[in-house]
Structure 1
Amino acid sequence: MNQVTLRPVLEEDLAIFEAEFYTPEGVGPYQWFGHRTPDRERRAFAETGLLGDDGGTLTVCSGDEVTGRVEWFKRAWGRPLTSWCWEIAIGLRPSFQGRGIGAEAQRQLAAYLFDHTRAHRIQAFTDSGNRAEQRALEKAGFQREGVIRQAQWRCGRWHDQVLYSLLRPEAGPAEP
């Protein structure tokens, strides 16, 4: 595996994301929620570069190749001013899955968010049947918290989700 790096999204990355993540084959069985337009993402890129105070997107690279993207969103477990955390998500191009890139990208994203924000908690969830992503989150240092029953509507039925988290003290010291 080449070295995994995260970087801001470039305009040319958007075409790769659209080609890879806007079809059932590209996103796979756990992330297909129906057809959607890329216009919203392109407008957000034009306005903010997909980096904002309440979340963002970074491109995942392995060597010089774009392998996918990671995203983060602000979530709250109570009052948003005092009880917010980051929720992360990842999308890897199908040809790069199963190589450890996802675990490393999610580990790097968590480190980045702990280094550059005041977040104490980072969480992620995945379908209860998505064993590969569950292993990737665990390799990235996340701990399984439990099952959220029938929380996600996808492909005509409800699906259980597994919640994972990483707390700042578990992530180790920040880099200087």
Structure 2
Amino acid sequence: MYHFQGVTLRRAVPEEAKALYKLITEDERWAQFNGPYFPYQTPTLEGFRNHTFQRLLKGKDMLLIEFEGKPVGSVSWYWECESTRWLEAGIVIYDSNYWDRGLGFSALVPWISHIFDTQDIERVGLTTWSGNPRMMRCAEKLGMQQEARIRKVRYYQGEYYDSVKYGVLREEWQTLIQQLYSQEQLA
């Protein structure tokens, strides 16, 4: 369990399956910003229990984001290329009532720290698209560097968008995190 600025990251518990399924499927506006150019189909409850919910229960590569005692999203990581130790982080705030509150930032600070603490890597990446300005602002607020902008490679609803790649190195994160936590203690 990890805490930062009122946000908690934690594993799911078995009793939460139906409530989390409802959270993810009831208001799917989040899917319009989470790589909507990739095919998405609402999972069945059984499909959710067998895949995403198992990852949330194990807590190795995916945790719930909880705010004010309520699950509102999830953080995750995945290997872009495990043999070269290229890892990417991800985040989704499912409940749109919690957008634009800085929860993504508050969840990614402990999540990126956790990734560096548990994985033998030198960089954490985050890939988004130009159609998701909130995620771009969050990555920049975290101190991540925009490492690539691949122009007009994401086609969605008749328009082209850019793929935007951010990253932070371990030594950069150590400096950033010291500054963040010292500011947090002063607040």
- The 3-state SS of whatever aligns with 1:58 is strand
- Give 1:36's aligned residue: 42
Conservation of the 8 A alpha-carbon contact between 2:147 and 2:167: yes
* Change in CA separation of 1:42 and 1:159 when aligned onto 2, cut-off 3 Å: farther
- The 3-state SS of whatever aligns with 2:32 is coil
Deviation, structure 1 residue 157: 6.5
Q: Structure 2 stretches of 5 or more lacking a match?
A: 179-187
After superposition, residues 80-95 of structure 1 pair within 5 angstroms as: 80-81=82-83, 83-92=84-93, 93-95=95-97
Letter in 1 for 2:50: R
* Percent of residue pairs identical: 24
TM-score, L = length of structure 1: 0.79
Rounded to whole Å, the distance in 1 between the matches of 2:134 and 2:66 is 19
Letter in 2 for 1:9: A
Conservation of the 8 A alpha-carbon contact between 1:72 and 1:88: yes
- Give 1:21's aligned residue: 24
Total equivalences in the alignment: 168
Pairwise CA RMSD: 2.9
Deviation, structure 1 residue 159: 3.8
Rounded to whole Å, the distance in 1 between the matches of 2:102 and 2:56 is 30
- The 3-state SS of whatever aligns with 2:126 is strand
- Give 1:102's aligned residue: 104
Out of 48, 52, 57, the residue aligned to residue 49 of structure 1 is 57
The farther-off stretch of 83-92 and 161-170 is 83-92
Deviation, structure 1 residue 29: 2.3
Q: Structure 1 stretches of 5 or more lacking a match?
A: none
- Give 1:119's aligned residue: 121
Out of 137, 142, 145, the residue aligned to residue 143 of structure 1 is 145
Does residue 165 of structure 2 align to residue 163 of structure 1? yes
The farther-off stretch of 90-99 and 157-166 is 157-166
TM-score, L = length of structure 2: 0.75
